[in-house]
Amino acid sequence: MTSTSFKGPGVTRHHRRGSAARLRPLSVPEKHRSRARSGRSSSLRPDIEARHAGLRRRLIAVVVIACLLAAGIIARLAFLQALDPAEYVTFGESQRIRTIELPASRGSVLDRNGVDLALSVPRSTVVADPSVIDDPEAVAEALAPVLGVSTEELVGPLSGEGRFVYVARQVDTDSAEAVRQLDLAGVWLEDEPARVYPSEPVGGAMLGETDIDGNGVAGVEQLYDHLLAGEPGEKIVERGSDQTSTIVDGELHVEPAVSGQDLLLTIDQTLQFEAEKILARGVEAAGAECGVAILGQPATGDLLAVANVCVDELGTARPVSYNMAFAASYEPGSVLKIVAAAGALEDGAITTETRFEVPDYYVVADKEFTDWEEEGHATGWWNLDEIISRSSNIGTIKVAQELGRDRLHHYLAAFGFGEQTAVGFPNEAQGILRPVEEWTGSDIGSVPIGQGIAVTPVQLWAAYNVIANDGVYVEPRLLYGTVDERGGTHPAPPSASRQVVSVEAAQGVTHALQEAVERGTASDWAIRGYDVAAKTGTAWIPQPWGGYEDELGNKQYVTSFAGFVPADDPQISMLVMLDRPTDRTSGSTASGPVFYELAKFALQHLGIPNEMGAPGEAEDAGESGEAAPLPGESVQAPAAAQPPTDGP
């Protein structure tokens, strides 16, 4: 091993291969060491003091903030307890207490014999809670084929933010079971009442309907909704901690719902069915577009059947939901002639024996009138029986002139024209009876024969009841009574009534109506064994632009047949109206067969005996119930050159 030595002044270094050099620390004089110690001690003391000062400041800040928070809490508590406690008590209760509405059961609608016409039954509704549905599209795809809707229709509701949504309401039993089998999270079934009509479509125009929530929106359902709906109750319960569930035994208050009343209508379901069937046949046979048939009891004003029928696009006459009996107005034609006759008899302007010179052509003011016979008739001296039974326009005009226009207007209003009936049916029309001050000079000729005035079928039916009731107007009635929870029935108040003409005046018109059936325009529809009092009517339909001709110069018709049976003790009264018949265009040939068939059925159904103790047959009708035109009776329209006139 070699070593190398370096010599220098005062320093000797030794380096050995394989070992580290050993260094000795430099020596520092004592005075310098003491100075260094004193310097280190003086520089640390200010740092510690600064840190202590920072801690004190932070502690003070924390204490101040804590005091401020405590003061705020104390102030808030004082405010809540002393200044406005009620509001916050209410808020707290709203978070803890839940009010649940208890729906009322809707009452049923029954006919006068207790047959169900409308009732509520439980039906399943599909509902969902979107908040627990993870994949709305998948759920929609599963439900769509079951419910018969597209997936797109369901995705929206199932993706909502609420906790309750209707998916499909009041589904059928098969669909409900299919949904149950799917067992989808967040989707379930609930029962709710659905409105059903066992005899549908029979009486549909009268019964109307409810919306999906059970509110009446048409017909009887709307008219008597205040009686049928009942009053909802309520249940107050305590919520669970999740704000959705209810605490067991947490009911605080229950106000039971009050069920709606069960209503008995004056309608007889059997007569209603038969009226619609017979009317439909008559509409098709006459080539008409629509028809109305009203059957009722004149003494009480009870409506036993109200049929509304129209022809569909396939040419089949069917019951419709539009109640023309109350909502449609039309010029009635000759069936209105009873008003001028009764008024003139009542005022003493004429007697039943007064005779008038009746030509087949007559001018009133600036208007020409003719009688309905196409070939005309010789001038004759006719009394009231002949004028009514032959349906003479000119004879009726002369009777009205004796009465005067002011008194004619008075009796038209007294017979119920120009205002709604007491039934108050939804969308009921009031017809058109112009103030007498607005009448023209020729209106004393037009109005008494049923032109220049518009009436509803139910108004006209009620007007014939005045004659049947010996001069007493009885308001039409649809509500027969109510049924309580025990099944007891409570009759509705009787209809309001008023004396319009005397017994003598009414009986004078009745005799003329009997003559019309025995030997006049209605004679094809006499019923064997019964005295029938009835009148025919044929009217042209006015066009919106004035006059009675359409764009092609043709006229359209409304035909009527009104009356009551038996004439000496009326038990039923009827009106039949056909709109726009084309194959039969007179009151006798178009509306007469319907009146005859329905009257015969009603007499038998109601057990109204005839002179021989049983309902009879028509004396002159053929096997089909179809009548041949009377001698001189126009089945087609009067000649186009003639002014508007009225047929039988």
Could you please report the per-residue DSSP string of 297-354? ETTTTEEEEEEEEEE-TTS-EEE-SS-HHHH--B--GGGGHHHHHHHHHHHTS--TT-
DSSP, collapsed to helix, strand or coil, labels residue 401 as helix
Q: How far apart are CA 618 and CA 613, in angstroms?
A: 16
Q: What is the DSSP letter of 589?
A: I
CA-wise closest residue to 446 among 580, 561, 333: 333
pLDDT of 629 reads 34
Q: What is the value of pTM for the model shown?
A: 0.79
pLDDT of 65 reads 86
Q: What is the DSSP letter of 534?
A: E
pLDDT of 167 reads 92
Q: How far apart are CA 554 and CA 236, in angstroms?
A: 70
Q: How far apart are CA 2 and CA 581, in angstroms?
A: 148
Q: How far apart are CA 468 and CA 561, in angstroms?
A: 15
Listed in sequence order, the residues at least 6 apart from 48 whose beta carbon sits closer than 8 Å to its beta carbon are none
Over residues 223-276, the pLDDT tens digits come to 999 999 988 888 787 655 544 445 555 556 788 888 899 999 999 999 999 999
DSSP, collapsed to helix, strand or coil, labels residue 565 as strand
pLDDT of 97 reads 73
Cα–Cα distance list, 530 to 108, 260, 315, 462, 587 (Å): 38, 43, 36, 22, 21
Listed in sequence order, the residues at least 6 apart from 68 whose beta carbon sits closer than 8 Å to its beta carbon are none
CA-wise closest residue to 271 among 572, 494, 590: 572
* Start-end of H helices in 79-218: 85-96, 136-147, 151-158, 173-182, 204-207
In DSSP terms, 189 is beta-bridged to 126
Computed over every residue of the chain, the mean pLDDT equals 85
Q: Which run of H or of E encompasses 402?
A: helix 393-403
For residue 168, the number of C-alpha atoms closer than 13 Å in the C-beta half-sphere is 24
**Residue labelled with tokens 């709606």:** 260
Q: What is the DSSP letter of 81?
A: I
Q: Give the chain's domains with CATH numbers.
A: 100-265 (3.90.1310.10), 269-605 (3.40.710.10)
CA-wise closest residue to 297 among 494, 135, 140: 494
Q: Tell me the residue type at 4.
A: T
632 φψ region: left (φ > 0), alpha (ψ -120 to 50), beta (else) = left
pLDDT of 549 reads 86
Q: Which residues of the chain have pLDDT under 50?
A: 1-42, 242-245, 617-646
Q: How far apart are CA 137 and CA 153, in angstroms?
A: 11
Cα-flanking dihedrals φ and ψ of residue 91, to 5°? -60, -45
pLDDT of 530 reads 96
Q: Which two tokens stand for residue 430?
A: 């009031």
> Is the Cβ–Cβ distance between 329 and 432 less than 8 Å?
yes
Over residues 353-411, the pLDDT tens digits come to 999 999 999 999 989 999 977 667 889 999 999 999 999 999 999 999 999 999 999 99
Q: How far apart are CA 357 and CA 370, in angstroms?
A: 14
Q: How far apart are CA 502 and CA 344, in angstroms?
A: 11
Long-range contacts of 598-601, Cβ-Cβ distance < 8 Å, separation of 24 or more: 598/274, 598/275, 598/278, 598/279, 598/293, 598/295, 598/305, 598/574, 599/527, 599/532, 599/565, 599/572, 599/574, 600/527, 601/271, 601/274, 601/278
Listed in sequence order, the residues at least 6 apart from 46 whose beta carbon sits closer than 8 Å to its beta carbon are none
